[in-house]
């Protein structure tokens, strides 16, 4: 009896072992079938991509190239990556025992490449569908496209382009499902099991990242559009919602400026934005400089002559095509990121406000949650792509500069070659280059010494007039400022000033003012606080120059009487002006004077002048009626002096 029970138990355990082995065999079979399904579908998928890239795209050449670029996007890159992936996948078939583990490792190896190529294709998929919809509105074009697709891919049916365009999206989303099927038929204690788990998780992450990238691209495409709107169109867009949104942002910004609430700090983005602004400034400056260079380049044509002038014209054409146009395209490419950075600041203010609400209330509305996601998408996109964009712009800019230098070298070489005939006519063309260089340096040195000597002589004889004549009737005001502030604080207005602010002064040219402070309340040294003798206010510092006090006519006559030597009338390099009008009628102008009205006449330094009346109609001796080159008018009396000889004083060039 005991022996019979033992036999029954042994039979039962053998039956269980057999069932276990059969179950394992079935799982192993399903596993191999799942792997084979992966390989077979990959072959079919790659074949379909190659048909799209070669046969179909080549037959749709009647479509614009821009449309083809959108429809097929980076399909060539996908083919390259998946061809290598399929090759490695098929090689695993020779190693049956390790095939499953090798498949898992293969997906982990290609994870990054798959994400890079498929996210680009998926981001442009919606735009491709918009093109397909536009083709459907043109029956003749739609029939032509449909005929091409049915001839190459009959199984596409009536879906046509839509059937083909969605294939890469379906494939990348199917990879995790195929791996999951292999994982389900792998025993947990197998060495391939953890590898497959990581592969499934990696491909799920790839799809998640692609979706996030697609969403960021959609947000970016919404805000990178540069719309040229008129004022009327901008006003038409204003409503209560936009006013409320802008008011809330302004309130948030003012609170941050006042220090009432903290500002969100993002060091990584701030560094990227600073570099982007620096690169943008470089592009703008280079564009302005190249534009100015091109405007003035043809100015050399009249000086260069026929053959060399043609070289300049050809050089300008090459610069416009190889430097100017790429530079304009580069400047245009900067507008999109600039708009995104500006929009990010607006969305950041919304995000900060919603974060405060979330802490206080604990929840936000659906629209507010969408606004939070919009900021996060914008920020993630900029942080991810600004470094690459900055690097590309720098490379582009460097290439433009290298092209500019090369074209300049070619232009100089061409002009030099065409000028060789003219150079043979020069008197020193036979002199060796070192000797000619020494000859030029010696000539320039002698000329420099002559100019320096002439400058010193000129400064001794005729000091530069640094003051405009006083306005009629302002002598008393200037004397009051002089007695109150001293000569070192007096300045004269060099051109008319129109005040724009509440504390700015409006002053005419020639007005005397006293300096109170050489900067405004904000520390800006370009705005000075001055006193006119009646009012105080700010004026531009660039329109003021130090005023040299002019002695009165009586003081000058007294100085002349003390020194009988007629040479005392020669102006000296001191702030004192020229002597007063002598009793003779023929004098010369010591300073240049620009007429400001029809009652005055202009003077040039050293110009002969005939005095008609030594005072104006009111008897003021500060102004004299004179005749110059047949024209009559009033000039400041202090600008005139007695003529010493027929030759102007001190104007002989040094020998």
Q: Do 49 and 82 meet the contact criterion of CB atoms below 8 Å apart? A: yes
pLDDT at 571: 41
* Closest C-alpha to 411, from 275, 334, 490, 317: 317
For 609, which DSSP code? E
Distance separating alpha carbons of residues 97 and 198, to the nearest angstrom: 19
Residue ranges of the chain whose pLDDT lies below 70? 1-24, 220, 222-239, 241-244, 256, 298-309, 419, 421-426, 458-474, 549-584, 643-655
Distance separating alpha carbons of residues 336 and 333, to the nearest angstrom: 6
Q: Do 104 and 110 meet the contact criterion of CB atoms below 8 Å apart? A: no
644: phi then psi, degrees, rounded to nearest 5: -90, -35
The pTM assigned to this predicted structure is 0.48
Distance separating alpha carbons of residues 266 and 633, to the nearest angstrom: 70
Q: Do 31 and 186 meet the contact criterion of CB atoms below 8 Å apart? A: yes
* Closest C-alpha to 75, from 160, 135, 164, 144: 164
* Closest C-alpha to 178, from 203, 208, 195, 198: 203
Classified as helix, coil or strand, 416 is helix
Fold of the CATH domain 586-642: SH3 type barrels. (2.30.30)
Distance separating alpha carbons of residues 183 and 199, to the nearest angstrom: 10
Total residue count of the chain as it appears in this document: 655
Give me the sheet containing 631-636, strands edge to edge: 631-636, 623-628, 608-613, 586-589, 640-642
Every domain of the chain with CATH number 1.20.900.10 lies at 21-221
For 633, which DSSP code? E
Every domain of the chain with CATH number 1.20.1270.60 lies at 239-425
Residue 165: which residues within 8 A CB-CB, separation 6 or more? 71, 125, 128, 129, 132
pLDDT at 229: 58
pLDDT at 114: 93
Domain 239-425 sits in CATH at: 1.20.1270.60
Question: What token pair was written down for 3?
Answer: 């022996």
**CATH number of 21-221, picked from 1.20.1600.10, 2.40.33.20, 2.30.110.10, 1.20.900.10:** 1.20.900.10
Q: Do 207 and 122 meet the contact criterion of CB atoms below 8 Å apart? A: no
Helices (H), 52-98: 57-59, 65-72, 75-91
End-to-end Cα separation, the chain, in angstroms: 148
pLDDT at 112: 92
**CATH number of 473-550, picked from 2.60.40.10, 2.30.30.40, 3.40.50.720, 3.40.47.10:** 2.30.30.40
pLDDT at 107: 92
Question: What token pair was written down for 32?
Answer: 């191999």
Largest Cα span, the chain: 164
Distance separating alpha carbons of residues 534 and 539, to the nearest angstrom: 15
For 246, which DSSP code? H
Cα dist from 468 to 22, 235, 355, 408, 610, whole Å: 113, 50, 64, 46, 22
């Amino acid at each position: 009896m005991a022996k019979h029970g033992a036999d029954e138990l042994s039979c039962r355990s053998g039956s269980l072992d057999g069932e276990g082995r059969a179950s394992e065999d079935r799982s192993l079979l399903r596993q191999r079938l799942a792997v084979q399904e992966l390989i077979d579908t990959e072959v079919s998928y790659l074949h379909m991509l190659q048909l799209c890239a070669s046969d179909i795209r080549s037959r749709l050449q009647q479509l614009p190239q821009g449309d083809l670029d959108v429809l097929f996007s980076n399909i060539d890159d996908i083919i390259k990556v998946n061809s290598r992936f399929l090759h490695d996948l098929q090689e695993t078939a020779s190693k049956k025992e390790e095939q499953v583990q090798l498949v898992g490792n293969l997906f982990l190896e290609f994870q990054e490449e798959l994400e890079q190529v498929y996210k680009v294709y998926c981001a442009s998929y919606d735009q491709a569908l918009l093109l397909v919809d536009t083709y459907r509105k043109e029956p003749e074009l739609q029939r032509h496209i449909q005929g091409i697709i049915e001839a190459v891919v009959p199984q596409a049916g009536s879906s046509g382009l839509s059937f083909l365009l969605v294939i890469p999206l379906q494939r990348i989303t199917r990879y995790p499902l195929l791996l999951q099927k292999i994982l389900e038929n792998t025993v947990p204690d197998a060495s391939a099991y953890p590898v497959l788990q990581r592969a499934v998780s990696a491909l799920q992450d790839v799809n998640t990242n692609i979706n996030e990238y697609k969403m960021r691209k959609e947000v970016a495409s919404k805000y990178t559009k540069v719309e040229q709107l008129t004022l009327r169109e901008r006003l038409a867009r204003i409503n209560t919602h936009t006013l409320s949104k802008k008011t809330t942002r302004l309130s948030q910004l003012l609170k941050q400026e006042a220090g009432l609430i903290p500002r969100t700090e993002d060091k990584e983005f701030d560094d990227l934005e600073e570099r982007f602004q620096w690169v943008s400034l470089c592009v703008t400056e280079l564009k302005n400089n190249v534009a100015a260079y091109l405007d003035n380049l043809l100015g050399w044509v009249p000086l260069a002559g026929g053959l060399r002038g043609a070289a300049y014209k050809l050089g300008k054409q090459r610069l416009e095509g190889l430097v100017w146009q790429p530079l304009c395209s580069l400047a245009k490419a900067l507008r999109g990121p600039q708009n995104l950075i500006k929009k990010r600041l607006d969305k950041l203010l919304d995000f900060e406000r919603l974060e405060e609400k979330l802490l206080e209330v604990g929840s936000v509305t659906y629209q507010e949650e969408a606004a939070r996601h919009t900021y996060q998408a914008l920020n993630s996109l900029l942080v991810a792509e600004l470094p690459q964009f900055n690097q590309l712009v720098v490379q582009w800019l460097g290439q433009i500069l290298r092209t500019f230098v090369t074209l300049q070298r070619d232009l100089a070489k061409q002009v030099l070659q065409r000028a060789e005939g003219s150079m043979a006519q020069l008197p020193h063309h036979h002199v060796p280059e070192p000797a000619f260089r020494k000859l030029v340096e010696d000539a320039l040195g002698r000329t420099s010494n002559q100019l320096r000597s002439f400058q010193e002589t000129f400064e001794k004889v005729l000091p530069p007039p640094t003051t405009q004549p006083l306005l009629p009737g302002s002598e008393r005001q200037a004397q009051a400022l002089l007695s109150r502030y001293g000569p070192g604080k007096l300045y004269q207005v060099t051109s008319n000033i129109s005040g724009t602010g509440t504390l700015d002064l409006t002053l005419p040219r020639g007005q005397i003012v006293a300096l109170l402070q050489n900067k405004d309340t904000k520390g800006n040294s370009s705005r000075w606080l001055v006193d006119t003798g009646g009012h105080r206010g700010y004026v531009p510092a660039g329109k003021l120059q130090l005023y040299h006090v002019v002695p009165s006519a009586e003081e000058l006559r007294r100085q002349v009487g003390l020194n009988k030597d007629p040479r005392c009338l020669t102006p000296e390099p001191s702030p004192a002006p020229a002597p007063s009008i002598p009793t003779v009628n023929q004098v010369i102008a010591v300073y240049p004077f620009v007429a400001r009205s029809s009652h005055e006449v202009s003077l040039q330094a050293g110009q002969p002048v005939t005095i008609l009346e030594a005072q104006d109609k009111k008897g003021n001796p500060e102004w004299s009626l004179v005749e110059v080159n047949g024209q009559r008018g009033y000039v400041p009396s202090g600008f005139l002096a007695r003529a010493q000889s027929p030759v102007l004083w001190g104007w002989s060039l040094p020998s």
